[in-house]
Amino acid sequence: MTASEDIIYMRRALQLALCGEAAAAPNPMVGAVIVHKGRIIGEGYHRRCGGPHAEVNAVRSVALADQTLLGESTIYVTLEPCAHWGKTPPCADLIIEKGIPRVVVGCKDPFAKVDGLGIKKLQDAGCEVVVGVLEEECRELNRVFMTYHSKHRPFVTLKWAQRPDGSVNGQISTPFTQMLVHRLRARCGAILVGTGTMLADHPSLTVRDWSLRGEQPLRITIDRHNRLPKELTDGFLVYHTETLEEILADLYQRGVQHLLVEGGPTLHRSFMEAGLYDEVRIETSDKRSDHSIDGHTIERRRIGQSPLRALSEYE
């Protein structure tokens, strides 16, 4: 296979991996493609946590007539094959058992029980292993998983809604953009708001506008000065004296991979100034008042795109 062909088939593996977006978490999204002399003979993705991994589904998809071709094939996997027993057997063992001689890996798995061990096991068994094809795209696909296992804290998304003049008061979101926010919430393990938001809005922080049956994220608030009445924090995890670093460390221990921060400017700025965030999502309405024409844009910014300036514009 040439380098350009490796890229083509890894892109297909990435397409497949994305199919697992709804149910793979907390596992990463992974896609796999098996190719024999320019023909795809098998492909699969990790459908749900606890189920077969992408490599297993790809091997199972190979037609009976093509089984003998595995010994002359290449398997493309977006993430390093696992080398340990979890809820399923090691995928590296399956690849070795099937005699697949060449393995192309998008990126290494930072999970401590893998972290290069899958690649080593394959190499020790005599497989040719190529690592780093479309690596940036493969890492980006699982940016939440990567951050959680490499930085030992949740991936942190800051989200707010604002008007063009920077004000954040009053109702800004439309039913449609609220549905999009609830979709984002459904993909997060926890949602955090500050004391001011709790007192002003009494937020429920559910995913009701996206899924009535979906699992609800952990609801969190910070009450530094014990201002919140007990009935308002019912069902919430409340932090009092902990620093942001301590809060994120605790959420890491609780298995929360993605934290959505929906508080006001003070809470957002505290995360930014501490450098404890990974992306910013800003919903901007063209409503300058409650009586103007309604239109919205939703902007996503990653680290390095000056979100501090954007924050100062709505304070």
The residues annotated with a catalytic role in the active site are: 55
Is the backbone peptide bond immediately before 28 cis, with ω within 30 degrees of 0? no
* Sheet with 74-79: strands ordered across: 39-45, 31-36, 74-79, 102-107, 128-131
Structure tokens at 118: 């899958």
Structure tokens at 174: 């439309």
Closest of 95, 51, 96, 65 to residue 77, by C-alpha: 95
Question: Pairing between strand 31-36 and 74-79?
Answer: antiparallel
Distance (Å, whole) CA 58 – CA 36: 13
What are φ and ψ of residue 90, in 5° steps? -65, 130
